[in-house]
Amino acid sequence: MSISRKLLPAAGLLLTSCTAAFQPGGGGDPISAADLQRRLYAFAADSMMGRLFGDEGDLKGTQYIANQLASMGVLPGGENGTYFQAVPAFRVTAGSGTQAFLDGAPLAYRTDYITSIPASGRALPLGDLEVIYGGDLSDSAALVPPEQTAGKAVLFTIDGPFRGNPNRFISRYTQAAAVITKTNPAAMRTFLVTTVTDTTAARVNVFVSPTVAERLFETPSTTLRPGTAGRRLRFASMTFQRQPAAARNVVGIIRGSDPAVNGQYIAIGAHPDHVGIRAGGPLDHDSLRAFNTIAQRIVEARTREMTGSPGAGLTAAERASIRVNVDSLRRIRPARRDSVFNGADDDGSGSMGVLEIAESFARGRTKPRRSLLFVWHTGEEGGLRGSRHFADNPTVPRDSIVAQLNMDMIGRGGAGDILGGGPDYLQLVGSRRLSKELGDLVESVNAGSTRPLRFDYSIDANGHPERIYCRSDHWHYARYGIPIVFFTTGLHMDYHQLTDEPQYIDYEHLRRVVQLVHDVASRVANLDHRVIVDKPKPDPTAACVQ
């Protein structure tokens, strides 16, 4: 269900494209809030099916972008004269022979447990494992020491308030034979079909139902101490079937005007993919948003920070108290059921921002001296797949890429979205990590605008637990020593929710962020020298350090 189409039935008619009459210095179509809005309503529509990597919606979304580039006269920069670069993708499903046994009794795949699917698609005979309790991830100080889990299966729970990515704790347990996480059954269903690239999984991840978690220890997990030994779990004949799937990056080029430097590129990027359709079925839009609005207030009051998906940060008692309020809401208004993750902010906002920048330069009478490379990286969600593939196999010489400007979630950032937010709010990440000059240049371009944005560098701090520097597409450029800037208005309560829809975007805020990225690209492209890399180039095969 799309609330968006009901609210704005004639969006495409009301909001017309900008005229060519406006000619700011050097010419060009101005960055327009109306253009951004018109395109975002199309790109984040339910018909795009949530744009899941390797799925039909991903192909539709990338086709939309390619069609727009063609209409603007932007040159194809992909493979074989097209706008596309194929990205390897496979659909892997568990084979029917997969079996697990708890003390000899068989468990039911899909209801009792599921396993993460090894990308290789190979069978994983795990044999007979002792299970020990690792602790609750909300109390990370009390987790079992990793060396105690060697060769065993370790069970983690998330019963207390927890925000962020559990992997930041789980990834320390490299010696464990398997990591088991207690998971609610609805979340388990979302893991059933996974599209992955061909990387090898280091260790098996298993997700079990609350019932199985209790059976593993014959006692409720809330009464367990980390390190407690439980019963034995045996995995037999785990098999997987792997079929190729189609996925692609979109690449466009605007040739620079100066033959001396137009073999160099300023790369501008975003990710067109999102997380698809809710496997657990539809939810009522209004109840979900009401729940998350209250949850956000509770979590912010407690932690003084906001990192997205506020419902995950609640205690069971808080959850129940909100549910009472939401239930009373339902009596006022019939349910509006929705199952499509529209991804308007994540990352429809950045994807349409790149298009708007391309249009502005394409319509300009004078092109910048250096060339512009527009890349929409698919498969960002869950693995940065398209950006890794592009950085490893660039369609222009890698050393010709002078800098990369990445946008992900740039349409929110208001006072109600994030603590410290407001109409001028923008987070910057990585802007001085390879080139002090690039970071300074973003500051000076912003300071020179009529109404500067207010930069928040807090999530760029070394060692920041959210590891944002390592978690979006720019990282794959940075690991090859290409200086980057990551622009985002930050996480909010609709992040990865069914409610990340176009009617909640602040289009004037979005326009100003896109204008800044446009102006930074223009400045870097017109510099009399290549932007200076003054930090050591990283080893491209080394792990990312925030």
Catalog residues that contact Zn ion under the rule CB under 5 A.
346-347, 408
Minimum CB distance to Zn ion smaller for 346 or for 494? 346
Which is nearest to 317 in space by CA: 342, 337, 336, 298?
298
3-state helix, strand, coil in the chain (%, to 5): 35, 20, 45
Q: Taking the complex as a whole, how short is the minimal distance between the CB of residue 488 and Zn ion, in angstroms? A: 8
Minimum CB distance to Zn ion smaller for 207 or for 469? 469
Q: Taking the complex as a whole, how short is the minimal distance between the CB of residue 409 and Zn ion, in angstroms? A: 6
Helix axes 285-303, 316-332, angle to 10 degrees: 150
Q: Does an H or E element contain 485, and which?
A: strand 484-488
Q: Name the DSSP letter for residue 276.
A: -
Minimum CB distance to Zn ion smaller for 292 or for 378? 378
Task: Write down the number of H helices and E strands in the chain.
Answer: 14, 22
Q: Which tokens is 476 given?
A: 């794959």
Q: Taking the complex as a whole, how short is the minimal distance between the CB of residue 377 and Zn ion, in angstroms? A: 10
At 59, phi and psi to the nearest 5? -65, -40
At 189, phi and psi to the nearest 5? -65, -30
Amino acid type, 515: Q
Q: Taking the complex as a whole, how short is the minimal distance between the CB of residue 195 and Zn ion, in angstroms? A: 17
Minimum CB distance to Zn ion smaller for 131 or for 410? 410
Q: Taking the complex as a whole, how short is the minimal distance between the CB of residue 407 and Zn ion, in angstroms? A: 9
Minimum CB distance to Zn ion smaller for 441 or for 493? 493
Minimum CB distance to Zn ion smaller for 314 or for 478? 478
Minimum CB distance to Zn ion smaller for 338 or for 346? 346
Q: Taking the complex as a whole, how short is the minimal distance between the CB of residue 543 and Zn ion, in angstroms? A: 21
Coil vs helix vs strand at 87: coil
Amino acid type, 68: Q
Minimum CB distance to Zn ion smaller for 264 or for 472? 472
Q: Taking the complex as a whole, how short is the minimal distance between the CB of residue 346 and Zn ion, in angstroms? A: 4
Which is nearest to 248 in space by CA: 77, 70, 401?
77
CA dist., res. 322 & res. 315, Å (int): 11
Residue 411 neighbours by CB under 8 Å, 6+ apart: 40, 344, 345, 348, 349, 489, 505, 506, 507, 509, 510, 513
Taking the CA atoms of the chain, what radius of gyration do you get in angstroms?
Answer: 24
Residue 357 neighbours by CB under 8 Å, 6+ apart: 31, 268, 374, 514, 517, 518, 521
Q: Taking the complex as a whole, how short is the minimal distance between the CB of residue 349 and Zn ion, in angstroms? A: 9
CA dist., res. 374 & res. 83, Å (int): 10
Q: Taking the complex as a whole, how short is the minimal distance between the CB of residue 345 and Zn ion, in angstroms? A: 8
Minimum CB distance to Zn ion smaller for 347 or for 466? 347
Neighbours of 186 (CB within 10 A): 12
Minimum CB distance to Zn ion smaller for 284 or for 346? 346
Neighbours of 493 (CB within 10 A): 28
CA dist., res. 38 & res. 74, Å (int): 20
Q: Taking the complex as a whole, how short is the minimal distance between the CB of residue 457 and Zn ion, in angstroms? A: 19
Tell the residue number behind the tokens 């956000």, with chain if given: 296
Which is nearest to 256 in space by CA: 19, 75, 81?
75
Q: Taking the complex as a whole, how short is the minimal distance between the CB of residue 347 and Zn ion, in angstroms? A: 4
Distance of CA 278 to the CA centre of its chain: 16
Neighbours of 271 (CB within 10 A): 31
Q: Taking the complex as a whole, how short is the minimal distance between the CB of residue 380 and Zn ion, in angstroms? A: 6
Minimum CB distance to Zn ion smaller for 286 or for 456? 456
Minimum CB distance to Zn ion smaller for 55 or for 346? 346
Neighbours of 364 (CB within 10 A): 19
Coil vs helix vs strand at 148: helix
